């Protein structure tokens, strides 16, 4: 029974072996020696051998968890055994008598079974359950393929559930800014005189306030949709950033001014401790603006009326600047401090209670794209502190 890589022998031999090889020139001589030795063994003992190129059938190498090639695998009779390394022939000489013994024991068991069946007047003995190496390999491939398809099915099912929850939450979260923008626009429209081009019964300050309110709320809606789309692309998608020299302290105060109407409406106190001599950072202003908006939006949302929100800056090292945003809200449970940045976490919570949003997942992706870190701490008397770091602009 010659050993052939291109035309493997299919038989009912009880001993079945797989020889895994690769295309490396330095392993070619070792493979030739192993095949020659196996051919010598076949002269005195019947077994079935199939040569498998790991480059053509990598799934088989993964199935057997091979870490090196060449490798010789005994797949029948059980138990399965793998021989690898630079001395496969030496190991095979040691194991060959034991393999023969295991085959003899298997055959003896088959004979005993057949005798019992004959004693029970069974007309036809069952066919041997030994399948060829080719069939075994194909079964393994199909098993791995089924496992892969099941994983894809679970992932698709999870994505569908995620989209359903996103639609539900988005509809819920968009209601407030849409309502505010609609009221401001309707008030302006109802007081506008087409003939004079003026707003009747509205003082200039109120007109300016309503225009600002409509503009701010539409920006909020746009930000929410943008965040949702970016998070929905998944963590494997590269997040483009355009870093430049920027003043992080100036951006903090700009965002606070942008959200003034929000925290003023809840009579919240804003405390800032951002040193004027903070060094410049190397970051994407638009992306960091997204991070600050998300973190401050959450702080305002969860801080009760009359509560306090803090914004601090710290030059931690010569390479890092840290920005921290604190609130006096309910805080984050310790066991959820890592999960809070997952894009599914908020959506798995009670829909009746607004949770920390998908924006936190986006914040983490943005900060990591800047080679920074983001994390959350809770304080004993309630509240949460979110911190993130950015690289200092090289001088």
> Which DSSP string do the residues of 82-94 spell out, in sequence order?
EEESS-HHHHHHH
Mean pLDDT of 380-391: 89
Is there a contact between 372 and 388 (Cβ–Cβ < 8 Å)? yes
Angle of the 204-232 helix axis to the 359-369 helix axis, nearest 10: 70
Q: 119: pLDDT confidence band, cut at 50, 70 and 90?
A: low
Question: What is the predicted pLDDT for the residue at 352?
Answer: 46
Question: What is the predicted pLDDT for the residue at 230?
Answer: 63
Q: 132: pLDDT confidence band, cut at 50, 70 and 90?
A: low
Among 307, 238, 205, smallest CA distance to 266 is for 307
Other CB atoms closer than 10 Å to residue 79's CB: what's the count?
6
Helices (runs of H) and strands (runs of E) counted in the chain: 9, 13
Domain limits, the chain: 16-123, 147-232, 244-391
Indicate if 244-391 has the same CATH topology as 147-232: no
Torsion of CA 111, 117, 123, 126, to 10 degrees: -60
Poorest-pLDDT segment among 51-65, 109-123, 128-142, 191-205? 128-142
Q: Which CATH class is domain 244-391?
A: alpha beta
The CA-to-CA distance between both ends of the chain, in Å, stands at 75
Maximum average pLDDT range among 73-87, 127-141, 301-315: 301-315
How buried is 237 (Cβ within 10 angstroms: 0-12 exposed, 13-18 middle, 19+ buried)?
exposed
- Say how far apart CA 310 and CA 315 lie, in whole Å: 17
Among 276, 286, 278, smallest CA distance to 255 is for 286
Mean pLDDT of 340-365: 60
Q: 356: pLDDT confidence band, cut at 50, 70 and 90?
A: very low
- Say how far apart CA 50 and CA 5 lie, in whole Å: 7
Q: Global pTM?
A: 0.50
Question: What is the predicted pLDDT for the residue at 173?
Answer: 65
Among 286, 280, 289, smallest CA distance to 257 is for 289
For the chain, the average pLDDT equals: 80
Question: What is the predicted pLDDT for the residue at 5?
Answer: 40
Query: What contacts 24+ positions apart, CB below 8 Å, involve 7-12?
Result: 8/48, 8/49, 8/50, 8/51, 8/133, 8/134, 9/48, 9/49, 10/48, 10/132, 10/133, 10/134, 11/46, 11/48, 11/132, 12/128, 12/130, 12/132
Is there a contact between 300 and 263 (Cβ–Cβ < 8 Å)? yes
Poorest-pLDDT segment among 117-131, 181-195, 202-216, 294-308? 117-131
Q: How far is CA 82 from CA 9, 34, 95, in A?
A: 21, 14, 11
Cis peptide before 272 (omega within 30 of 0): no
Q: Are strands 320-327 and 281-283 parallel, antiparallel or unpaired?
A: unpaired
Note the CATH number of domain 16-123: 3.40.30.10
φ/ψ of residue 280, rounded to 5: -65, 150
- Say how far apart CA 217 and CA 173 lie, in whole Å: 12
Is there a contact between 339 and 347 (Cβ–Cβ < 8 Å)? no
Is there a contact between 272 and 292 (Cβ–Cβ < 8 Å)? no
Maximum average pLDDT range among 11-20, 156-165, 188-197, 231-240: 188-197
Note the CATH number of domain 147-232: 1.10.287.130
- Say how far apart CA 203 and CA 250 lie, in whole Å: 32
Question: What is the predicted pLDDT for the residue at 238?
Answer: 61
Question: What is the predicted pLDDT for the residue at 172?
Answer: 61
- CA neighbours within 13 Å on the CB side: how many for 369? 20
Handedness of CA 350, 353, 356, 362 (dihedral sign): positive
């Amino acid at each position: 029974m010659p050993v052939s890589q291109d035309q493997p022998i299919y038989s009912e031999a009880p001993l079945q072996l797989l020889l895994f090889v690769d295309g490396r020139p330095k392993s070619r001589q070792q493979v030739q020696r192993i095949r020659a030795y196996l051919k010598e063994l076949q002269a005195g003992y019947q077994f079935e051998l199939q040569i498998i190129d790991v480059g053509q059938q990598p799934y088989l190498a993964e199935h057997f968890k091979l870490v090196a090639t060449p490798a010789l695998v005994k797949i029948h009779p059980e138990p399965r055994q793998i021989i690898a390394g630079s001395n496969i022939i030496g190991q095979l000489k040691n194991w060959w008598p034991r393999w023969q013994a295991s085959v003899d024991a298997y055959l003896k068991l088959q004979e005993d079974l057949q005798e019992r069946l004959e004693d029970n007047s069974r007309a036809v003995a069952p066919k041997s359950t030994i399948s060829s190496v080719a069939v075994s390999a194909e079964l393994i491939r199909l098993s791995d393929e089924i496992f892969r398809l099941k994983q894809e099915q679970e992932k698709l099912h999870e994505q569908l559930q995620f989209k359903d929850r996103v639609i539900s939450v988005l509809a819920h979260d968009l209601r407030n800014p849409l309502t505010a923008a609609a009221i401001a626009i309707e008030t302006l429209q109802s007081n506008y005189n087409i003939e004079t081009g003026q707003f009747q019964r509205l003082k200039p300050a109120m007109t300016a306030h309503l225009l600002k309110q409509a503009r701010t709320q539409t920006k909020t809606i746009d930000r929410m949709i943008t965040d949702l789309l970016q998070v929905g692309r998944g963590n494997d998608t590269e997040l483009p950033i355009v870093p430049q020299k920027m003043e992080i302290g100036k951006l903090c105060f700009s965002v606070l001014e942008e959200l003034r109407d929000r925290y003023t409406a809840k009579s919240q106190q804003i405390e800032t401790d951002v040193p004027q001599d903070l060094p410049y950072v190397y970051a994407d202003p638009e992306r960091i603006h997204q991070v600050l908006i998300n973190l401050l939006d959450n702080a305002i949302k969860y801080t009760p009326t009359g509560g306090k929100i803090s914004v601090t800056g710290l030059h931690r090292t010569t390479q890092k600047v840290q920005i921290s945003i604190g609130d006096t809200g309910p805080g984050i449970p310790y066991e959820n401090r890592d999960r809070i940045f997952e894009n599914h976490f908020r959506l798995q919570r009670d829909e009746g209670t607004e949770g920390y949003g998908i924006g936190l997942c986006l914040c983490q992706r943005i900060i990591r794209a800047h080679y920074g870190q983001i994390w959350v701490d809770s304080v004993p008397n309630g509240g949460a502190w979110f911190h993130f770091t950015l690289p200092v602009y090289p001088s």
